[in-house]
Structure 1
Amino acid sequence: MSSEDSTDGKRNMQEKTVGVSAETHANALRAEAHSMTTRESLSMYFTIAAAAFGLISDGYQNNLMTMANVVFAKLYPKEYIGSVPTRVSNSLLVGAIIGQIFVGLICDRIGRKVALVSTTLLIVLGATLGTAAHGAHGSVQGLFWFLTVARGITGVGVGGEYPASSTSASEAANEKTVKYRGPVFIMVTNFVLSFGGPLAVAVFLIVLSAAGEDHLSTVWRVCFGIGILLPLTVLGFRLRMLSSKLYKKGAIKHRVPYYLVVKRYWKSLIGTCGAWFLYDFVTFPNGVFSGTIISSVIKNADIKKTAEWQLLLGIIALPGVFVGAWLCNSLGRRNTMMLGFSGYLVFGLIIGCAYDQITKIIPLFVIFYGLMQSFGNMGPGDMLGLVSAESYATPVRGTCYGISAALGKTGAAVGTQAFTPIQIHLGKKWTFIVAALCGITGILVTYFFVPDMTGIDLADEDAKFMKYLAENGWEGEIGEEDDKNLIVNRHEEELEGKGVEYAKGY
């Protein structure tokens, strides 16, 4: 080996063993969190926009089965009964749970870009398979098993999009504007997710009008096929995106101290996981089966009329998103979420206790039903993603967000599975009374366990988290690329004695 090679090797070894105290790292992080080059600044804007386009695809996929359930019930009245509708609908949820947990880990351990590109490709693959679904030898049950698998693959991508897009959007919004991080985050996450409902129904109505009710097989396949195009709109950017400064300086990709993470964030995890479980337990089955509920209330209604009422329901639910975005700063994250859960309590009891009377007046029923969902959007719908992104430090944000969202989708799966038995054994009104019970439980969980990070810079929590790790004896490599350093919990003299370079600044 030449002397020049030897010198380069020693230099590389030194670069890999630069020691930085937690205090030094915290100070540098706060100082540099909002300083960006022009390219970095543009990338943050596009990251926020790409999150919106990616999550509108999620919203579309989440609501695709609303009218598809009505179509399948008409096309296959003898086969699409019992557990079959639940299985096809729940397959997306099961896939989403898997995606949220594993992609959440990928977000933190490998990188935001890898996670985002992976979720996009999985949604495209699953949507393509769903569009082309057929049963062997024309088997109807084979068709529904094919759809179950295809929707499951789509679900992994859809679920992974939650932690991947939301963590990226929250960090990008924080770097551009801490004050308006909440409203910006809500508009590019929950608004587009909620807009996916009316969008799916509007697309269905357009395709139905073009193809006619005599070609329902064409209608549902075209609607599934449009789900392929939406995620492709952001693939090109995601292949070129930059990581946020918070992630580049704070990522922990090796020796993640999960015990210390749980010790610090156990209370927040109970809050975000518990509240998300309750919210999705109510909102998801009421979304998936709302078309079925409306068609059962309207006498002798055709598919188009059911879809029109369904579209109105989705539109009534949307204003809650804007109200939540408006209140999240002035009222605070936690109080806004509690106010939203109270809507489940009030409107759930009104509809449930007066179900037989209200369902005789269809417009009144749809308005009350829409207001219940609007309060859900305003409170937990807007706030859960926001508080799950704000409550945890950058090195574990994707993981903790993914766990919280996965518990939410578990609630959705349980709620979807329980929806039909509740209707059959207790009566249709009890689906709304159960929503009211979830509302009051959600208020209590939010009050006691959900932190309020209104107006707090995410860089501050990152700095506190690094100090906490150092105080508890953790040492390890943080950051990526040129921002990689070694957090150490020793004095400068000790490090110099061991031949380790000590960096007092970046």
Structure 2
Amino acid sequence: MSFPPDLDDSQQLPSGKKEIDFHTEHPLFQDLCPDDSYTPEGVYWADLPWKERQTWVNEQSNAETKRELKVVWDMFKKDPLSPLNAYCSRYVITGFGMFTEGYTIFSIGNLMSLYTAVWPECWGTHEVCDKNWIAAVSYIQIIGIICGQIGVGIEGDWIGRRVGLVQDALVMVLGLVMLTASWGTTLNGWVICYAWSQFVYTLGVGGEYPMTSTSALEHAAPSGTAQRDDKLHRGRNVVLAFLMQGWGQLVNQGVLIILLLIFHGGSTPPYSKKTGQWVFRVSFAFMIPFTLWLAYWRYYKKQYSEHALRKSKKDAHVNQSGYDMASLKLVVSHFGGRLVGTCLGWLFADFLFYGAKLFQSTFIKVITPNSTGVMTGWLWNLLNVGVSMFGYYLAAFLVDHKFYGRKRMQTIGFLLLGILYLLPAIWFHQLQSMEHIKGFQTIYFLASFFTQFGPNCTTFLLAAEVFPVSVRATAHGLSAASGKVGALLPAIIYNYIDNRTKFWAVCWFGFAGWITTQMFIPDVTGLDLREQDRYWAFVREGRAKDYHGIAVHPRHLSMWERVVLKRHRAYDPELDRQSRVKELRVMWEARNQIKEEGGRIDIEDHEDDELSSTAHSFFERELRTLEKPRDCSLSHTPSRNPSRLSRRLSLTGLSHTPQQHDTRDVHDAPNEKQ
């Protein structure tokens, strides 16, 4: 890629001009080829030969790691607690909704064994309780989550992220109060009340999925670093918020163990009804003040970054309070393969995750065949969640590395989970013998590790970032709801098959997830979300074939998009550079038009555009070279004398004369058929 040198007013452009090195001289170079994605020669990193690409990626990764470590060390020297405070304010608070839902949802599952031990006539033999209502406790929970995921996902794109997040927290507070106070004149009446209390709570839980992912994805970084942070750390930002779900599980299991020791005075059965009542009610009440604080913080303290959503609606001529139905239909038609990939991928991932939870007792019985009471299972689960936390954090560490990234992480995770569950299916009886018990333990912990260091984290991230901002929460909600269907399937299927057949059933979902990811999921590691929205603007106008940028680079497309749809053929770095220079000029003219008309530029609406101070100075300088002051007008009146910029652009194939140029934003151009 080559660019013309920036010439001062005294220089001309003779046909025999001297060639000079552009890369350190042209003022638009950093705007068109930022060093976080391009080499000093202006080559996109994914266009490099494999060995050079490997060198460039490793050098960039190492340099960024050193820079961040230096920043953390400088913070630590000034205030030893400041790095922890920064981590909590950025990731813990953003993902605190996932913490509260992880605590409560898995508390409901963990308490099942206690209910069975305390009220066996209800939860065990079903003598006094309806078997269907006992089963409904699990089904209603999943149905509530699905309704919340779809409903709040649509609401988040329709009304805004803030409303969805505050509403989720308030609904979860109400659900926790209902769970704590659930009662009935009979045990069966209590089960019914308990089930519907779960439904209310899980409506808020479902909404947390699309709202947490989009808020973490669209986090407003400090001025001047937003796009760099998006390209280099976007995946980490989302995964570190999502892994708060794991911390919720860990804290809940610890709280339940402590409460049982307090109210029972030990861990061995039998457990009294009074103990059961105190343990489950206090465990739910424990999270009420934290969730109430979350609602307060989201309403009064949290800063929201919704300018990209507003800008997308404005460009699509959608009222701010309206829903962009046209974009949703277009996503289904244009990005249908991606929607299939995220929905099926999450379905397979949740079948693996929740399926493993359902036959977790099988593992524990094999590992500790002579155990009694609930404490043994709870302690093993506590250890298992601790192992999974390593998977969460390793996923956050590698999810943005361009040679590993989210797609490869999900692919490898699915494949290994399929293999890990295939092994006990083949050697089920052998692994249950005491001589091979450590092999069973290894499978148990490795499955937990690769679930988190794999599809459980990546499906949460990919379902948001591969779709345009205007329908991002909706697409995430639909994908997450498909996942809950995957969670519902093993709850039904496992009632009709034996333990060995469960392993035979679940392993194929790992292999199916591996194939689905390879076929339909694009690798967008390192791709700027702003560039994806730029591509979407062309798609929305019916001009997808006129887009030649890196969003259609073969590296960032799925196999379906490359092999079947052939979208990579539109990629052309030179044509894209020409288009981007024109777009920068349009942005600059639009700003000046507002200033000349006495208007005020809304900084928030422009903080994500590409007009840097360098680009502004460049176009400002070019404007001053016009021969007549009246030519500074940004009206559409044709100019008799082309500007020097126009002459230079015409010499480089970027013809941009005033006669040809329309100062409307490129996204507002009339629709054209592909």
Separation in 2, partners of 1:449, 1:219: 46
**Correspondence 1:185 to 2:245:** no
SS of the residue aligned with 1:78? Answer: helix
**Correspondence 1:264 to 2:342:** no
Separation in 1, partners of 2:263, 2:152: 38
Match for residue 337 of structure 1 among 389, 410, 421: 410
Offset from partner CA, 1:339-374 (integer Å, 9 cap, x none): 111221121012233333334446653442121121
SS of the residue aligned with 1:51? Answer: coil
**Correspondence 1:277 to 2:347:** yes
Separation in 2, partners of 1:352, 1:316: 23
What does residue 97 of structure 1 align with? 146
Match for residue 480 of structure 2 among 393, 396, 405: 405
Larger of the two Rg values belongs to structure: 2
For the Cα contact (< 8 Å) 1:69–1:85, is it kept in 2?
A: no
Q: Aligned pair in 2 of structure 1 residues 434, 333: CA closer, same or farther (>3 Å)?
A: same
For the Cα contact (< 8 Å) 1:94–1:152, is it kept in 2?
A: yes
For the Cα contact (< 8 Å) 2:153–2:207, is it kept in 1?
A: yes
SS of the residue aligned with 1:430? Answer: helix
Give 1:209 deviation, angstroms. 1.1
For the Cα contact (< 8 Å) 2:91–2:240, is it kept in 1?
A: no
Give 1:281 deviation, angstroms. 1.3
2:113 partner letter: V
Separation in 2, partners of 1:83, 1:455: 49
What does residue 189 of structure 2 align with? 142
Q: How does 1:27-38 map to 2 (within 5 A)?
A: none
SS of the residue aligned with 2:231? Answer: coil
1:352 partner letter: A
SS of the residue aligned with 2:183? Answer: coil
What does residue 420 of structure 1 align with? 495
For the Cα contact (< 8 Å) 1:348–1:435, is it kept in 2?
A: yes
Offset from partner CA, 1:433-478 (integer Å, 9 cap, x none): 22211110110000001111101111111111122112269xxxxx
Match for residue 447 of structure 1 among 518, 522, 542: 518
Q: Aligned pair in 2 of structure 1 residues 125, 363: CA closer, same or farther (>3 Å)?
A: farther
Give 1:196 deviation, angstroms. 2.5
Offset from partner CA, 1:171-219 (integer Å, 9 cap, x none): 1177344201112211111x21223322221111011111114312211
What does residue 311 of structure 2 align with? 249
Give 1:119 deviation, angstroms. 0.6
What does residue 396 of structure 2 align with? 325
Unaligned runs of 5+ in 2: 1-30, 35-84, 125-130, 265-270, 545-601, 607-634, 637-661, 668-674
For the Cα contact (< 8 Å) 2:166–2:299, is it kept in 1?
A: yes
What does residue 228 of structure 1 align with? 288
What does residue 62 of structure 2 align with? none
* Deviation larger for 326-335 or 106-115: 326-335
Offset from partner CA, 1:401-448 (integer Å, 9 cap, x none): 0000011011111222222322xxxx2122222221111011000000
Q: Aligned pair in 2 of structure 1 residues 96, 345: CA closer, same or farther (>3 Å)?
A: same
- Which one has the bigger helix percentage? 1
* Deviation larger for 361-370 or 458-467: 361-370
Q: Aligned pair in 2 of structure 1 residues 313, 377: CA closer, same or farther (>3 Å)?
A: same
Separation in 1, partners of 2:445, 2:419: 13
What does residue 152 of structure 1 align with? 199
Give 1:504 deviation, angstroms. 5.2
SS of the residue aligned with 2:188? Answer: helix
For the Cα contact (< 8 Å) 1:66–1:289, is it kept in 2?
A: no
Q: How large is the Cα RMSD of the aligned pairs?
A: 3.1
For the Cα contact (< 8 Å) 1:173–1:181, is it kept in 2?
A: no
Match for residue 73 of structure 1 among 92, 105, 116: 116
Offset from partner CA, 1:147-167 (integer Å, 9 cap, x none): 110111111100100001111
Match for residue 246 of structure 2 among 194, 209, 223: 194
Separation in 2, partners of 1:397, 1:231: 25
SS of the residue aligned with 2:304? Answer: coil
Separation in 2, partners of 1:243, 1:62: 27
* Deviation larger for 361-370 or 119-128: 361-370
Count of residues in Structure 1 that have an aligned counterpart in Structure 2? 442
Separation in 1, partners of 2:478, 2:200: 19
Separation in 2, partners of 1:464, 1:67: 46
SS of the residue aligned with 2:303? Answer: coil
Separation in 2, partners of 1:350, 1:83: 34
Identity of aligned residues (%): 27
Offset from partner CA, 1:266-312 (integer Å, 9 cap, x none): 00000000010011112124225635763586324221122111211
Q: Aligned pair in 2 of structure 1 residues 411, 224: CA closer, same or farther (>3 Å)?
A: same
Separation in 1, partners of 2:298, 2:534: 28
Separation in 1, partners of 2:530, 2:280: 46
**Correspondence 1:311 to 2:386:** no
For the Cα contact (< 8 Å) 2:231–2:525, is it kept in 1?
A: no
Separation in 1, partners of 2:381, 2:409: 27
Which structure exhibits the higher relative contact order, with contacts defined as CA atoms closer than 8 Å and separated by 6 or more residues? 1
What does residue 352 of structure 1 align with? 425
Runs of 4+ off more than 6 Å: 42-45
Give 1:146 deviation, angstroms. 0.7
For the Cα contact (< 8 Å) 1:351–1:369, is it kept in 2?
A: no
Offset from partner CA, 1:36-60 (integer Å, 9 cap, x none): xxxxxx9999575432111111211
Separation in 2, partners of 1:118, 1:47: 21
What does residue 457 of structure 1 align with? 528
SS of the residue aligned with 2:286? Answer: helix
SS of the residue aligned with 2:467? Answer: coil
For the Cα contact (< 8 Å) 2:230–2:529, is it kept in 1?
A: no
Give 1:502 deviation, angstroms. 7.2
Give 1:85 deviation, angstroms. 4.2
Separation in 2, partners of 1:227, 1:365: 35
What does residue 299 of structure 1 align with? 370
2:293 partner letter: T
Q: Aligned pair in 2 of structure 1 residues 98, 78: CA closer, same or farther (>3 Å)?
A: same
What does residue 171 of structure 1 align with? 218
For the Cα contact (< 8 Å) 2:149–2:207, is it kept in 1?
A: yes
Separation in 2, partners of 1:327, 1:154: 33
Q: Aligned pair in 2 of structure 1 residues 85, 145: CA closer, same or farther (>3 Å)?
A: same
For the Cα contact (< 8 Å) 2:212–2:241, is it kept in 1?
A: no
Give 1:236 deviation, angstroms. 2.0
Q: How does 1:382-401 map to 2 (within 5 A)?
A: 382-401=457-476
Give 1:92 deviation, angstroms. 1.6
TM-score (norm 1): 0.80
Q: How does 1:196-211 map to 2 (within 5 A)?
A: 196-211=248-263
What does residue 590 of structure 2 align with? none
* Deviation larger for 455-464 or 287-296: 287-296
SS of the residue aligned with 1:318? Answer: helix
For the Cα contact (< 8 Å) 1:86–1:417, is it kept in 2?
A: no
What does residue 118 of structure 1 align with? 167
Q: Aligned pair in 2 of structure 1 residues 91, 56: CA closer, same or farther (>3 Å)?
A: same
Give 1:325 deviation, angstroms. 2.2
Q: Aligned pair in 2 of structure 1 residues 150, 481: CA closer, same or farther (>3 Å)?
A: farther
What does residue 239 of structure 1 align with? 299
Separation in 1, partners of 2:426, 2:251: 31
For the Cα contact (< 8 Å) 1:178–1:456, is it kept in 2?
A: yes
For the Cα contact (< 8 Å) 2:363–2:444, is it kept in 1?
A: no
For the Cα contact (< 8 Å) 2:168–2:207, is it kept in 1?
A: yes
Separation in 2, partners of 1:85, 1:363: 35
1:294 partner letter: I
Separation in 2, partners of 1:504, 1:349: 55
Q: Aligned pair in 2 of structure 1 residues 173, 321: CA closer, same or farther (>3 Å)?
A: farther
**Correspondence 1:133 to 2:182:** yes
Give 1:503 deviation, angstroms. 5.2
Separation in 1, partners of 2:236, 2:484: 24
